[in-house]
Amino acid sequence: MKFELLMLVGLLKNRKGLSSVIGSIFFIIVFTSAATYVVYSMNQIDKIGQTIITKSQDDRNRDHEAFEITSVTRDNNKFNITVQNTGQLPLNITRLWIQNKTDPTWSTTKFSINQAVSPGQTLTKVGQNLKLAALPTQAYDISLVTDRGNTKEFLVNSASQKPIILQLFVLPEKVPTGFVTTLLFAVTNNMSNNGVLTNLAPNLSVVIPQGASATRLSGPEPTIYPLLAKGDTAYFKWAYTVTGNSGQGINFTASLQNGYLGNFVSRNVTINAIQGGLPVKVIIGGGFTGLMATTSQNYLRFFADYSPSTSYNLKSMIIPTAGTLKNLYVNKATGATVVTFTLYKNGVTTGLICTTNNLTPTTCSDLIDSVPVSPGNTIAMGILPSTITPTGDVSFSVEFDPS
């Protein structure tokens, strides 16, 4: 009996020791699990934080990425798109999406571009190597997409889709035989969508009665207008010497190549018998070809000089009779600079003024303002380039309408 009690006491003592061991094992398991979970949670939080930081940086980069479509032309039935990086980050044009708006059976198509352009730089000839025909008689909806997800969408219309606003100005409409008349063909993009018109080229037909003549001196200037935005107007200019009998009319009809059928405008020039200095409405003008070595407007003034001039001498004209000067028209054939033309009267600037952009070829006009003049007034044209040494070929014309 004693032995059995001793055995029972020993078992109880061993069980207490076993319980301590088992408790220690459970504690280690719980502690390890908790520590593992904490470490895992911290790693996940760190990953989430890194993802948020990366996403924020991507969002900031996307917001600071900026680019513009500066030109869209169709060269040899291929798109020639020019992209300028106007932001502070390099960008990569990855995709081009295009939809034919004229042909509904033509599905939206994606093309890979993968062309990079640095800040301030220009990427040209986008679309020239794509297996895509850009027909001049059809309209397209085009989107360019960067690798950051920014998109520029633009519509390329065709002048053959619908009639657009065409105007033909004949300056002057009545001219003595042997004098020069100037034709200004104005084309306005009034398409109902916000698309651009590309590669506008003019047609001009002339109907001459028997005994009369119309000799083209120049034009069209420019020969093609590469890009016309919604609401903008392009001008094409011709100069003709007309001869004939008093009362004869010469008809000029202007339209666009590949334009809408029946979309044209027509005006007449009537020959009268009056001849002389400036007794009737005439066009006077001048120009400049070569290197402009100054930005001083008072230094470069040319008038009554139709031939290109490489001289810096002042040239002016004395008005022989009272009248009004109006309808200033400027053509810049070459030279990547902005040029401002201002009419001077007796050495003082007037409100008859226009400024070109820095594209070539380009035109500008002031068909609203007018300047009254009296006999003996001296007139001259101020030509102000925006840069110190622009090289270019610019010309101007002004209509004189006697009182």
Side-by-side strand order, sheet with 213-221: 165-171, 179-188, 233-243, 213-221
| CATH tag, 282-402 | 2.60.120.40
DSSP 320-370: -S-EEEEEEEEEEEE-SS-EEEEEEETTEEEEEEEE--SSSSEEEEEEEEE
CATH 2.60.40.10 in the chain, residue ranges? 67-157, 165-272
- Start-end ranges of CATH 2.60.120.40 in the chain? 282-402
* Overall fold of domain 67-157: Immunoglobulin-like (2.60.40)
Which CATH number is 165-272's, of 3.20.20.70, 2.60.40.10, 3.40.250.10, 3.40.50.700?
A: 2.60.40.10
Please state, in angstroms and rounded to a whole number, the distance separating the CA atoms of residues 228 and 237: 16
Take residue 306 and report the two structure tokens written for it.
Answer: 């139709």
Sort strands 202-207 and 249-256 into parallel, antiparallel or unpaired.
antiparallel
Whole-number pLDDT of residue 308: 42
**Residue type, position 353, single letter:** I
Cβ atoms 62, 148 nearer than 8 A: yes
The DSSP-derived string for 223-248 is: S-EEEE-TT-EEEEEEEEEEE--TT-
As a whole number of angstroms, the distance between CA 395 and CA 383 comes to 10
Tell me the pLDDT of the chain (403 aa) as tens digits.
555 545 545 544 555 555 665 666 666 776 676 667 666 667 777 676 666 666 566 667 677 788 888 778 778 888 888 888 888 888 888 898 888 877 878 888 888 888 888 888 888 888 888 888 888 777 788 888 998 888 888 777 777 778 888 998 887 787 777 777 888 898 888 877 777 787 788 999 888 887 788 888 888 888 888 778 888 888 888 888 888 888 888 899 999 987 888 889 999 888 876 444 445 556 666 666 555 555 554 444 555 443 444 444 445 666 767 888 888 888 776 666 788 888 888 888 899 998 888 777 777 889 899 999 887 787 888 877 777 655 556 777 788 888 7
Query: Using an 8 Å Cβ cutoff, are 85 and 67 in contact?
Result: yes
170 and 270 in contact (C-beta within 8 Å)? no
Q: In 118-212, which ranges are E strands?
A: 122-126, 140-146, 151-157, 165-171, 174-176, 179-188, 196-200, 202-207
Please tell me the distance from the alpha carbon of residue 80 to that of residue 97, in angstroms, as a whole number.
Answer: 15
**Which helix (DSSP H) or strand (DSSP E) does residue 218 occupy?**
strand 213-221
Task: Specify the residue for token string 């001459």.
Answer: 208
Helices (H) and strands (E) in the chain, counts: 1, 25
SS3 103: coil
Torsion from C-alpha of 317, 323, 325, 326, nearest 10 degrees: -160
According to the model, what pLDDT value does residue 283 have? 61
Residue 68 pairs in a beta bridge with 84
Check if the beta carbon of residue 155 is closer than 8 Å to that of residue 163: no
CB 182 within 8 A of CB 283: yes
Among 161, 208, 393, 201, which residue's Cα sits nearest to residue 291? 393
Q: Contact at 8 Å (CB) between 181 and 281?
A: no
User: What integer pLDDT is reported at residue 310 of this predicted model?
Assistant: 42
Closest by Cα among 318, 336, 316 to 387: 336
Q: What is the pLDDT of residue 388?
A: 60
Q: How many CA atoms lie within 13 A of 204 on its CB side?
A: 28
Q: Is the CB of residue 339 less than 8 Å from the CB of residue 394?
A: yes
Identity (one letter) of the amino acid at 375?
P
- Summarised one tens digit per residue, pLDDT across range 244-259 is 888 888 899 999 987 8
Provide the greatest CA pair distance for the chain.
Answer: 159
pLDDT at residue 371, rounded to an integer: 92
| The token pair that represents 67 in the structure block | 């680019």
In single-letter form, the type of residue at position 82 comes to: T
